[in-house]
Structure formats: C-alpha cells, structure tokens
C-alpha cells in the first residue's frame, strides 16, 4: 500500500519535497566539509599530473639531455618532504614536525609558501603548520600525518591555512553591529559563521592584502555568549575553519582589549608559547594533589588528560 501511495504522481512530488527538506542538514553538512591536503609521493611509480621528469625522475623517467655528450649519472636519492600551500600575504609560516618547530618561512605577497625538509628518517610523522597575521594573531594549527619513505621525495600540496579571526567588542549591545575581521588569502571568499541557537552564515571578500572585515548585525542573536569562526574559499580550495572567537550579546558595548600574540590558554610559564616546557610543567602535576590553579586548565581540581587536551589545542610548538 505504501508503495502504491509513493508511486502516485502528486505524492512523488510531495515525497521529493520532503526528501529535499530532510536531506537539507546533509547538504549543509557537505557544504561545511573541508578540502583535503593532498600528499603526492615521488617514488611511488606513478607519474601524476603534478610531477614531471625534472621534479620526479623516479616516477616520470629521466629528462632527455639538452645537448652534448656524456653519460647521465643520476644523483643518490634523498629523503625529502616538500610542503606548499597558502597562508596570508608576507606572513610567517611555522612548520612543526611531531609537534616541535622544525622550520619557518615567509609567504609571498600572493600568500603562497613553500618549505622543504630533508634528512628525515623513514617513518610516520605528524606535521602541523600555522601562520601569524599582520596583527600577530596566530591561526589554528593545521595538522596532517605523512608517511615518509627513505630515498623518496614526498610533496604535500594544497595546504590552506585557516583565516585568522577576531572581533572588536567583547560585549555588544543587542541590535548593534560587531566587527568580525581577520586575514586570509588576497581576494579569498570568506564565510563567517556565528553560532547561536540558529547558525548564521555570512560571506565577504578579502582585499588585496587578504584582510577581511564584516559588520555583523546582532539583532537576530539571543542574549548571552556566542562564538564566531570563519573559513576561506579560493578557486577550488577551501580552508579549514579558524579558531572560534567568543563575544557576549548584552545590554552595553564593551571594546575588546588589544589582542596579544599570547595563546588564550595553556601557556603555563607565560612565555607566549605553548610547547614542551608547558607540557612538562603539566606532566609534573599530573595526578598530584592540589595543583596550582594556573595549571588546572579546566578548574576541576586535578590535572588529568582533559587539561592536556586543552593544551594540545592551543599548541604553538
């Protein structure tokens, strides 16, 4: 009976309508998915579209000599990992190898960067990158595992560092505007999400320096704490989401204090870095009684893995 019901023309239309409505969350979910980083391996026997004889003779064969005689002696294979992607124009890009800083570089005015690492042992690595915008605001950490093979060049391409984000007010009077701003790639399309009971999505475009600004009208927001984050689309690539920044919708406007370079949490020794020193301080207090309040990051009276998880999020290396 249900089958007969479904096959009637009118009901098919209604059902498709309901289906679309029902699948809307899935479509939104799919739209929020992030572009993935591609890992190309020179030495895997496949000459992919991004490889040629000059950058990967192991897969694409040796380039024919331009002229003259003499036998070509290929150089001994090296273990190299090349990283390339987008950050912010002229920003400092930091590369972490297994959570410790291993290299830094400065992105070009087009926000593109490239880093090469050599002399690595074969094995599995967790690499992370982050960048700092013009105001010294750090991006979230973008992490990706890479398997390195001895004597093989691995190209990690398509890294797209999330935009930075900040707001001009820590509290905004309901109905007033709050400025949401940050930096990404030049001319990148920025999607800003404001989390409330209902999520609000707005779009703006970054200027030639990658800077974006959006004055968000807080009229539709409920009173209380809200979070905002952003991501960038550029060409076919989409970045991951930025860190979430909080603000309160209340009864008055309170300007936000000047942003500092220091991480908001987990910098236990107050040196504006969250790294092995902070981890060691927390490790000293792990499962000990009466830890200092500064080390108990979630204020539950003990230092346990929850505190380490919070620290791992704010990690700078």
Partner 1 sequence: MVKFPKHKQTILHFALSFCILIFAFFITNTAHAAKLFFEPSTAELGISNEFEVTLLLDTENEEINALEGKVIFPGDLLELKEIRDGNSIINFWVERPIVGLNNQIIFSGIIPGGYLGQKGLIFSVIFQSKNEGKGIIEIYEAKAFFNDGKGTQAKTEISNLQFLISKDVSGFEFETLKDTEPPEDFKPQVARDSTVFDGRWFLVFATQDKGMGIDHYEILEESQRGSLQRLFQKEKWQVGESPYLLKDQKLKSYIYVKAIDKAGNERIATIPPHNPLKWYENYENWIMVIIGIITIFVIFLVLWVRNSKIKYQKSK
Applying CB under 8 A, among 49, 121, 258, 299 the residue interacting with partner 1 is 121
Strands (E) across 87-152 are located at 92-97, 100-106, 112-118, 123-131, 142-148
d(CA 112, CA 253): 38
Per-residue burial over 223-244, b = 16 or more CB atoms within 10 Å of its CB, e = otherwise:
eeebebbbbbbbeebbbbbbbe
- Please check whether residue 182 is in contact with residue 258, taking contact to mean a CB–CB distance below 8 angstroms: no
Applying CB under 8 A, among 39, 179, 202, 310 the residue interacting with partner 1 is 310
Q: Would you count residue 105 as binding partner 1 (CB under 8 A)?
A: no
Q: Would you count residue 104 as binding partner 1 (CB under 8 A)?
A: no
- Please check whether residue 213 is in contact with residue 228, taking contact to mean a CB–CB distance below 8 angstroms: no
Judged by beta carbon, residue 2 or residue 289, the one nearer partner 1 is 2
Task: Give the phi and the psi of residue 47 in degrees, each rounded to 5.
Answer: -90, 95
Judged by beta carbon, residue 165 or residue 206, the one nearer partner 1 is 165
Q: Would you count residue 227 as binding partner 1 (CB under 8 A)?
A: no
Q: Would you count residue 185 as binding partner 1 (CB under 8 A)?
A: no
Total residues binding partner 1 (CB under 8 A): 62
Q: What x-and-dash track marks residues 262-291 binding partner 1 by CB under 8 A?
A: ---x--xx------xx-xxx-xxxx-----
Contact window for partner 1 (CB under 8 A) among 16-24, 47-55, 169-177, 198-206: 16-24
Applying CB under 8 A, among 94, 105, 128, 232 the residue interacting with partner 1 is 128
Distances in Å between the alpha carbon of 16 and those of 9, 33, 140, 233, 315? 11, 24, 40, 31, 47
Alpha helices in the chain (DSSP H): 2-7, 9-32, 57-60, 276-285, 305-313
Q: Would you count residue 8 as binding partner 1 (CB under 8 A)?
A: yes
Contact window for partner 1 (CB under 8 A) among 2-10, 51-59, 167-175, 204-212: 2-10
- Please check whether residue 188 is in contact with residue 232, taking contact to mean a CB–CB distance below 8 angstroms: yes
d(CA 12, CA 133): 52
Task: List all residues 6 or more positions away from 72 whose beta carbon is below 8 Å from its beta carbon.
Answer: 62, 65
Contact window for partner 1 (CB under 8 A) among 69-77, 95-103, 193-201, 218-226: 95-103
Q: Which residues of the chain form contacts with partner 1 (CB under 8 A)? A: 1-2, 4-5, 7-8, 11, 14-15, 18-19, 21-23, 25-26, 29, 96, 98-100, 121-124, 126, 128, 141-143, 145, 243-244, 265, 268-269, 276-277, 279-281, 283-286, 292, 294-295, 297-298, 305-315, 317
């Amino acid at each position: 009976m249900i089958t007969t019901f479904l096959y009637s023309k009118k009901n098919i239309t209604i059902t498709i309508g309901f289906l679309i409505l029902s699948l809307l969350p899935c479509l939104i979910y799919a739209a929020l998915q992030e572009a993935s980083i591609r890992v190309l391996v020179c030495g895997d026997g496949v000459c992919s579209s991004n490889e040629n004889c000059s950058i990967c003779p192991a897969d694409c064969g040796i380039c024919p000599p331009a002229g003259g005689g003499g036998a070509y002696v290929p150089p001994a294979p090296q273990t190299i990992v090349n990283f390339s992607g987008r950050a912010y124009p002229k920003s400092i890009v930091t590369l972490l190898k297994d959570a410790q800083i291993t290299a830094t570089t400065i992105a070009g005015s087009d926000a593109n960067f490239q880093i090469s690492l050599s002399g690595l042992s074969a094995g599995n690595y967790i690499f992370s990158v982050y960048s700092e915008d013009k105001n010294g605001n750090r991006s979230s950490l973008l992490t990706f595992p890479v398997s390195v093979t001895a004597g093989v060049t691995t190209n990690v391409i398509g890294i797209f560092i999330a935009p930075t984000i900040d707001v001009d007010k820590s509290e905004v009077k309901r109905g007033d505007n709050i400025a949401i701003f940050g930096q990404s790639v030049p001319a990148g399309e920025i999607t800003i999400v404001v989390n409330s009971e209902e999520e609000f999505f707005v779009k703006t475009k970054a200027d030639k320096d990658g800077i974006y600004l959006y004055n968000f009208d807080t009229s539709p927001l409920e009173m209380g704490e809200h979070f905002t984050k952003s991501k960038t689309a550029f060409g076919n690539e989409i970045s991951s989401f930025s860190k979430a920044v909080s603000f309160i919708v209340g009864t008055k406007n309170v300007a936000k204090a000047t942003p500092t370079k220091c991480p908001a949490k987990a910098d236990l020794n107050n040196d504006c870095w969250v790294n092995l020193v902070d981890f060691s301080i927390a490790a000293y207090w792990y499962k000990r009684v009466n830890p200092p309040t500064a080390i108990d990051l979630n204020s539950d009276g003990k230092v346990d893995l929850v505190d380490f998880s919070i620290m791992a999020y704010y990690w700078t290396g």
